Amino acid sequence: MNPAQPDPVSPQDAALIDAFVQALWLEEGLSTHTQSAYRSDLRLTARALPCPLWQAEATALGLVLSARLNTGQTSRSVARQRAALRRFFAWLRREGHRADDPMTSIPAPRLPRALPQSLTEAEVERLLQAPVVTEVLGLRDRAMLELLYATGLRVSELIGLSFGQISLAQGVVRVTGKGNKDRLVPLGDEAAHWLARYLQTARPALLGSRQTASVFVTERGEAMTRQAFWYRIKAHARQAGLSQLPSPHTLRHAFATHLLNHGADLRALQMLLGHADLSTTQIYTHVATARLKMLHAAHHPRG
């Protein structure tokens, strides 16, 4: 926004939005990215209303959300904005800023059930073998990809790893996930092997005389970022000849899907992924079922 122009969000709305996000951070330990998303969604709605957001009624809020659907925003994006508004107005009522909650009468948009993008086991193997491990960056990337596929970590959890969270001797990694909840995830022999090689040779070469607690570092000796890792994954996917360019999250989906395909228990998978609700994990049963249907159609004589 141009500093010469006034902020279209009223000072009281801005103050209440900031206080709401701060309260969520204190209660749930939200990441910086999630805090920013809440602020952005709420300020977007505030700018679209003819009155202050905190005083808005259900009719005006419903019209804003409907207009976004009609002008091309996806139902998933609008659902996310509606969820932010629901939490904001529930907080306003709880804190005594208003007596009612206008969001209780606004229905949620219908969402298509999208299956997570995944890779076959053969495609994962090609991706894992794409980095040139005789080079320090290639060895680092191989270790990161192996660890991601072996543990199902979120990318934010992977790049945020510090030495105190990893035990090569016990073969586990302690992960601090959403809501500051800790979980222990097995490393597996292959991931532990590549991680040990990276820590012994590539990481010291990348760091030089610099020091950091971060496990995975860039050429500058700084902590790895999501953007830098995504760029590296896409480069390796092209090298591996994959038809689709995976995101860092794709290996998390592959981890979950392949475990289910090999008979893993859904509750165990929920613990490994760090899902608070089993319903979040259950989408992977649809992925696994879709895979089984493809195999049946391809190989069964009556498929």
Say which of 43, 86, 178, 234 is annotated catalytic.
Answer: 178
Q: Mapping DSSP to helix (H, G, I), strand (E, B) and coil, where does residue 190 land?
A: helix
Taking a C-beta distance cutoff of 8 angstroms, is the pair 159, 141 a contact? no
Compute the distance between CA of residue 60 and CA of residue 45 in angstroms, rounded to an integer: 10
- Does the active-site annotation cover 284? yes
- Does the active-site annotation cover 249? yes
The position carrying tokens 């660890």 is 147
Q: How far is CA 223 from the centre of its chain?
A: 18
- Both tokens assigned to 287: 């992925």
The position carrying tokens 């009719």 is 59
Say which of 43, 193, 249, 291 is annotated catalytic.
Answer: 249
Say which of 140, 142, 253, 275 is annotated catalytic.
Answer: 275
- Does the active-site annotation cover 286? no
Cβ of 244: how many Cβ atoms within 10 Å?
Answer: 11
Say which of 82, 154, 203, 232 is annotated catalytic.
Answer: 154
Q: Where are the alpha helices (DSSP H) in the chain?
A: 11-28, 32-48, 58-70, 75-94, 121-128, 136-151, 155-159, 189-197, 203-207, 226-240, 248-261, 266-273, 278-281, 283-299
- Does the active-site annotation cover 236? no
Say which of 142, 203, 232, 252 is annotated catalytic.
Answer: 252
- Both tokens assigned to 116: 């997570």
Of 247, 253, 258, residue with least CA distance to 152: 253
Q: Which residues contact 69 (CB under 8 A, 6 or more apart)?
A: 75, 78, 109
- Does the active-site annotation cover 178? yes
Taking a C-beta distance cutoff of 8 angstroms, is the pair 92, 102 a contact? no
- Both tokens assigned to 87: 């939490």
- Does the active-site annotation cover 258? no
Radius of gyration for the chain, computed over Cα atoms and rounded to the nearest angstrom: 23
Buried b (16+ CB within 10 A) or exposed e, 267-289: eebbebbbbeeeeebeebeebbe
Compute the distance between CA of residue 81 and CA of residue 212 in angstroms, rounded to an integer: 37
Kindly list the catalytic residues.
154, 178, 249, 252, 275, 284
